[in-house]
Amino acid sequence: MAKVLVVEDEEDIRYIIVSVLSMEGYDAVEAGSIEEMYHRLNSGSFDVIILDLLLPDGDAVDEIPRLRLSTQDSYILVLTAKRSDRDRILGLEMGADDYMVKPFNPREVVARVRALLRRRKQDYEEVLKVGEITINRSRMSVEKDGKTIPLSHKEFSILSLLASAPNKIFSRSEILDAVWGFEDVSDRVVDVHISYLRKKLGFDVIATVRGVGYRLKVD
């Protein structure tokens, strides 16, 4: 049974999300603040963390990088009333895997959770080695020069896609389809994640093919 941590300060919204997830067979645990969230995380691991950005004890967007490092096996689904593209991109850039804006249909939350978990069930080669980069798909880990590189699930999925065919040019639409699926996101989100990957792996690892897309460089 997949475990989901619901971090939301509005009790009625939290209750609805937990109830719907529980009805679908998920083990849903709730928290109403950043402090309570870390208390729950210290007590066990979770497959998905549903995180409201505006919490009573702080802006949770600042906690995403810390969560990304300490809970690399967890997907992070951000829930917020913030609507601007800047807020959305910031959340993704910080390491969130998905993003939903209030108000929302609780059934969509379940669909998003299910889609995130489905990625783990893909049947593909377990370990890829491209140049100095080693990608372990079963562990969802990446190493470069023997050092572990922490990536968000979206970043890992993009890198894994590019590494599946080194030097092949993947268009933005191909990356969107493979990584985001049915989600309504713009090409700009791909650019943001590529930029973040370059900062972590080195700026010469992924090449831009102007007007076409991106490729993983192999000499």
Which of 65, 93, 120 lies at the terminal end of a domain, its last residue? 120
Reported confidence tier of residue 125, pLDDT bands at 50, 70, 90: low
Q: DSSP letters of 29-84? A: EEESSHHHHHHHHHH---SEEEEESEETTEEGGGGHHHHHHH-TTSEEEEEES--S
pTM recorded for the entire structure: 0.59
Higher-pLDDT residue of 93, 75: 75
CATH number for position 101: 3.40.50.2300
CATH number for position 159: 1.10.10.10
Is the per-residue pLDDT at 123 higher than 50?
Answer: no
Question: Tens digits of per-residue pLDDT, 189-203?
Answer: 999 999 999 999 998
Is the per-residue pLDDT at 120 higher than 50?
Answer: yes
Highest mean pLDDT among 15-24, 136-145, 155-164: 15-24
Q: Answer whether 79's CB lies under 8 Å from 53's CB.
A: yes
Which of 69, 92, 120 lies at the terminal end of a domain, its last residue? 120
**Which H or E element spans position 99?**
strand 98-101
Residues 146 and 107 in one domain: no
Share of the chain above pLDDT 90, in %: 46
Question: Tens digits of per-residue pLDDT, 148-189?
Answer: 999 998 999 999 889 988 889 999 988 987 888 656 678 889
Which of 64, 89, 120 lies at the terminal end of a domain, its last residue? 120
Share of the chain above pLDDT 70, in %: 90
Residues 112 and 139 in one domain: no
Higher-pLDDT residue of 123, 87: 87
Residues 143 and 116 in one domain: no
Residues 8 and 112 in one domain: yes
> Which structural domain, as residue segments, surrounds residue 206?
124-216
Number of domain units in the chain: 2
Question: Tens digits of per-residue pLDDT, 47-58?
Answer: 999 999 889 998
Is the per-residue pLDDT at 208 higher than 90?
Answer: yes
Q: What are phi and psi of 105, to 5 degrees?
A: -85, 125
pLDDT at 88: 66
Burial class (CB in 10 A: 0-12, 13-18, 19+), 141: middle
Of 83-87, 111-115, 145-149, the range with the lowest mean pLDDT is 83-87
**What's the whole-number mean pLDDT along residues 7-16?**
95
Residues 156 and 63 in one domain: no
